[in-house]
Amino acid sequence: MRFLTAGESHGPQLLGIIEGLPAGLTISRKIIDEALRKRQKGPGRGGRMQIETDQVNFLSGLRGGLTTGAPLAMVIVNRDWANWEKIMAWGEEADLESRKVLTPRPGHADLTGSIKYRTEVRNILERASARETAIRVAIGSVAVQLLNHLGIEVKGQVMSVGGIKARTFEDKDYWQRVENSEWAVADPEAERKMRQRLEEARQKGESLGGVIQIQVHNVPSGLGSHVQWDRKLDGKLAQAVISVQAIKGVSFGLGFEAADRMGSEVHDPIQYNKTTGYSHVSNNAGGIEGGMSNGEPLVLQAVMKPIPTLYSPLTTVHMETKEVVQASVERSDICAVPAAKVVLEHVVAWTIAVEILDKFPADTYFELQKSWQDYRDYLKAL
């Protein structure tokens, strides 16, 4: 299973095409639209979110709410296109001068992309924009629905914003509090401090980053492989997570904390129970050993850098005069960490769904479900 996306931030629409979905899989547009709505929410979002009301439309591959086995094509219309139609037109009538960018922004693809493709910065930033993640959330929501049908659940939470760390708890209402929080945390005190930190950044024309954790529950052992470097599950997950705009680091389980511990404090003892089979006493590995899922919940953390577009811009170089000037300012967010949590949930879901279909190839959802259940039965019988 694979996908492609196309579209620009201020173009008419974003397009996504999924190839390899089994036929007969139930897909809900309502679930996709709800995921898109969550991506647009959160404190610190910019003016663009006041313009767009993202909804998905299907062009092919779905009939009567069921996948047909053909490529599934989806579009999200950009409402802001109405304000950019002349500038972003595909024909000779396009206005190439009025919003031309000659002062590339530090931290963006602007300068490097312009040099690589020998083109104007506008052509780079339009595609490099995090607006592209809207269609990736829609694609990932299809994967989420496939996983949910198999009993797999993907959860995310914000661990820190701007240096403010949220505490974690172990109680039955924990994840519901995360879901209800605009910051995606279950710690009211951290939430209060994050609001203060956001206001400080707003007053200074600054931006904020943070740390996000994603968990995947009910994943059986055996996804991924140790036999080649490019088949390792953690490698594939890391690539997917790092591909999201502004994500600069990823770790699994204990992550970098493992470097400060003795081996006996890092590795997870194995145990056996006649009812549940093999399991681990702890989950410091984050559910992955040797490039394969080990039956424990998958746990990864991702670092999001502060948004590089600053309302108090850094210096740059004018690409024509070569003078030192202030960088251009495109409309942007102050903080998008809770929104990035939604994006990461969906790119992780996609990666897990691909691994499942690699291990259990199926033309139809019925065949997938049977293979899936047979494997679960095998694990229980060990």
Query: For tokens 């890092």, what's the residue?
Result: 266
Q: What is the rounded CA–CA span in Å between residue 299 and residue 167?
A: 17
Mean pLDDT is highest, among 236-250, 266-280, 305-319, for 236-250
Give all strands (DSSP E) within 191-297, no chain letters. 210-217, 247-252, 270-273, 277-280, 288-289, 292-293
Closest CA relative to residue 9, chosen from 87, 73, 74, 72: 87
> How confident is residue 49, by pLDDT bands cut at 50, 70 and 90?
low
- The pLDDT-based confidence of 309 (bands split at 50, 70, 90) is confident
Q: What is the average per-residue pLDDT within 201-221?
A: 96
* Residue 81: φ, ψ to 5°: -55, -35
**DSSP class of 360:** S
For 158-173, what is each residue's pLDDT tens digit? 999 999 999 998 888 9
Residue, of 363 and 45, whose pLDDT is higher: 363
- For 228-265, how does the pLDDT look when each residue is reduced to its tens digit (9 = 90+)? 999 999 999 999 999 999 999 999 999 999 999 999 99
Six-digit token string for 226 = 């140790």
| pLDDT band at 308; cut points 50, 70, 90 | confident
pLDDT above 90 coverage of the chain, percent:
89
Whole-prediction pTM = 0.94
Distance, CA of 135 to CA of 153 (rounded, Å): 21
Tracing tokens 């904020």 back to the chain, one arrives at 208
Select the more confidently predicted residue: 330 or 298: 298
- What pLDDT is attached to residue 17? 98
**312 falls in which pLDDT band (50, 70, 90)?**
confident
Cβ atoms 185, 166 nearer than 8 A: yes
Question: In the chain, at which residue ranges do the beta strands (DSSP E only) sit?
Answer: 2-6, 13-19, 56-60, 62-63, 66-67, 72-77, 153-161, 164-165, 210-217, 247-252, 270-273, 277-280, 288-289, 292-293, 298-304, 315-317, 324-326
- pLDDT-based confidence at residue 328 (cuts at 50, 70, 90): confident
pLDDT tens-digit readout, 8-27: 999 999 999 999 999 999 99
How much is the pLDDT for 163? Answer: 96
Question: In angstroms, how far apart are the furthest CA atoms of the chain?
Answer: 74
Percent of the chain with pLDDT over 70: 98
Q: What pLDDT band is residue 340 in, cutting at 50, 70 and 90?
A: very high
Question: What's the pLDDT band for 274 if we cut at 50, 70, 90?
Answer: confident
pLDDT at 47: 58
Q: Does residue 354 register a pLDDT over 70?
A: yes
> What pLDDT is stored for residue 48 in this prediction?
57
Residue 176 has pLDDT above 60, yes or no: yes
pLDDT the model gives residue 51: 64
When pLDDT is averaged across residues 92-115 and rounded to a whole number, the result is: 94
Q: What is the mean pLDDT of the chain?
A: 95
Instruction: Give pLDDT, residue 29.
Output: 97
Fold classified for 2-381? Chorismate synthase, AroC fold (3.60.150)
pLDDT digits (tens, 9 = 90+) for 104-144: 999 999 999 999 999 999 999 999 999 999 999 999 999 99
pLDDT category, 46, cuts 50, 70, 90?
low
Say which residue the tokens 């037109």 belong to: 89
Is residue 269 very low, low, confident or very high in pLDDT (cuts 50, 70, 90)? Answer: very high
Place 50 in a pLDDT band, splitting at 50, 70 and 90.
Answer: low
Tell me the sheet residues that pair with 299. 215
